Structures are given as structure tokens and as C-alpha cells.
Amino acid sequence: MPQALVSVIVPVYNARRYLDACLESLTGQNYREIEIILVNDGSRDNSLELCEAWAKRDPRIRVLSQENAGPGAARNLGMASAAGEYLYFVDSDDAVMPEGLEKLVAAMGEGQDLAIGLFEICPDGMTVSLRGRVRENVRLDRADFLERLSRWPGAYYYSAMWNKLYRRELVQRHGIAFRTDVIWGEDCLFNMEYDRHVRSAACINKAVYRYNRKVTGLSWNSFFELHKGVRIKKMIYQALKKIYTEEGLYKKYYWRVQRYIFNITLMD
């Protein structure tokens, strides 16, 4: 039985320091049926040359390029080119566990709309810790998924992209795309929109990704620009509220949804 193709989309911007390690983790996956779409987002270093060199080494790698427009626009371009049954998003300065894709694909099984794994977090070379809100193998129906999501909607486990596998057909059918008018939080907003349509999900108790968190860069710097942060948090809150309102569950989860607006971070 042929394996399902996974489209791995990697936005690349001035990533020369980390790109080799990231791509080594992807090309070394136990799960081999993948296409790796590198989207050069107007890099000013030699990232594009590195991408092209990797594409010559591995035929599963394709390189796209655009003027600098941010990670959301880069992911949208990658999705438009994707051919896989599943979508997987990777940041160019992180790494995927050797069995990460294999475990996520297996978890999708028959009919799952979303697979979520644990992840390792490594802040600037400090001690690695295992993170995640659901530390068990479990399949969730719509009601169970929304109940668990309501507890910690801003945690990395639910708001980040790199510990999840998505069904491309669902994205296409509902026209889900990344917003390009925000300076951070585009991943969380994508997930909120996708979660509106998740009828069943699978959680696995294994780490699939290593997140090399840094305390510099766009997300951290912009976090302290209060007026921009409040606007984005409001957008995410409204997206979360929409999920439960459409499902007729807003009254039931009112306090959990309201609590989210007071959260000051998007971190697990």
C-alpha cells in the first residue's frame, strides 16, 4: 500500500546558521514519502544558495523564492505548490525528530483531521525539556477536542504549528490561509481557523519536534510593542470565540474563552 505524501513547508529568511541542521533532520526522517518545499523569503544572506545546493543533493527538495513578505506569506506560497495529502510546517532554525513524521502520519490513521505530538523546547542552548498538554495516546472526537482546547488555547501545544500534521484537503476546501497583516501570531490564527473544521484529532505521547527558542528576533521584539500585541491578541480571542459560538458551546465555555483575553503570552 503506497504511503501518503507529506508536504513539508519551510519558510527561510536569513537562516544560514541553522538551515543545514534543519534540513539534515528532514532528509533523515524515517518516513521517506515527503516533499520539502523551501520558500526563500527575500533572504539577504546566502540562504537561497544553501537551499539550491540542498535541492541538488535531494530530489525531494524544491525551492521557491519571493520578495520578503513574512513567514505567513511564505507558507501560503508553499501551500499553493504542495501536492501532499498532509501538510507539515517547520521553522528553519528548528529540527524534527527522526521518527517525528512517521509517528504523526500513523496517528492520522483513517479519518483524523489533525495529529498533535509532544515537543522538546530548548531555549538558547539551555536544558531541553519535554512539553505538551496531552501526554497520552488518545483519539478525540469533536466534543473532546474542543473541551481540551478550551483549557489552554494559547499554549504552544495548541497554538504552534510544528507539532501538528494537517490534512491538505481540509485546508483547500475551507480556503484556510495565513494572515499576512500581523507581525506574530499568524500560526495561532491559522490553527484557530483550522480548528473550526476539525471533527476528530489524534494526540501522541512522543516528541516529534525540537523547538530552539530564542530570546531575540521579530516575535520577541514585537511582543513588547504593546499596541500591536493587544491588536493581535484581540484577533486571536475573537477567532477562539468564533469556534465555540459556531458550535453552540460559547455559554458552556464562556469563562475559559474570556480568560484567554487576559493571557499575556502565546507560550506553553
DSSP string, 125-161: GS--EEE-S--S-EEEEHHHHHHHHHH-TTSHHHH-S
- Strand-pairing partners, residue 88, are 8
pLDDT of residue 264 exceeding 60: no
Q: Where are the alpha helices (DSSP H) in the chain?
A: 19-27, 47-57, 71-81, 100-108, 142-151, 156-159, 168-173, 186-195, 218-223, 226-246, 254-260
Please state, in angstroms and rounded to a whole number, the distance separating the CA atoms of residues 32 and 107: 16
What mean pLDDT do residues 72-100 have?
A: 97
Could you tell me the pTM of the whole model?
A: 0.93
pLDDT bucket at 150, cuts 50 / 70 / 90 = very high
Positive or negative: CA dihedral 162, 164, 169, 170: negative
pLDDT of residue 198 exceeding 70: yes
Query: What is the reported pLDDT for 1?
Result: 65
Query: What is the reported pLDDT for 119?
Result: 97
Query: What is the reported pLDDT for 233?
Result: 85
Say which residue the cell 544572506 belongs to: 45
- Strand-pairing partners, residue 222, are none
pLDDT bucket at 125, cuts 50 / 70 / 90 = low
217 three-class SS: coil
Neighbouring C-beta atoms of residue 106, cutoff 10 Å: 13
36 three-class SS: strand
Do 34 and 63 touch, CB atoms closer than 8 A?
no
Q: How far is CA 1 from the centre of its chain?
A: 28
Please state, in angstroms and rounded to a whole number, the distance separating the CA atoms of residues 122 and 82: 30
Query: What is the reported pLDDT for 215?
Result: 58
Break the chain into its structural domains and give their ranges: 6-260
* Mean pLDDT, the chain, whole residue set: 91
Please state whether beta strands 6-12 and 34-41 pair in parallel, antiparallel, or not at all (unpaired): parallel
Q: Which of 131, 133, 135, 138 is CA-nearest to residue 148?
A: 133
pLDDT of residue 223 exceeding 50: no
User: pLDDT tens digit string along 29-68?
Assistant: 999 999 999 999 999 999 999 999 999 999 999 999 999 9
To the question of domain 6-260 being in CATH 3.90.550.10, the answer is: yes
pLDDT of residue 104 exceeding 60: yes
Extract the C-alpha cell encoding 162. 510544528
Extract the C-alpha cell encoding 264. 499575556
Please state, in angstroms and rounded to a whole number, the distance separating the CA atoms of residues 54 and 181: 31
Q: What percent of the chain has pLDDT over 90?
A: 81
Neighbouring C-beta atoms of residue 179, cutoff 10 Å: 17
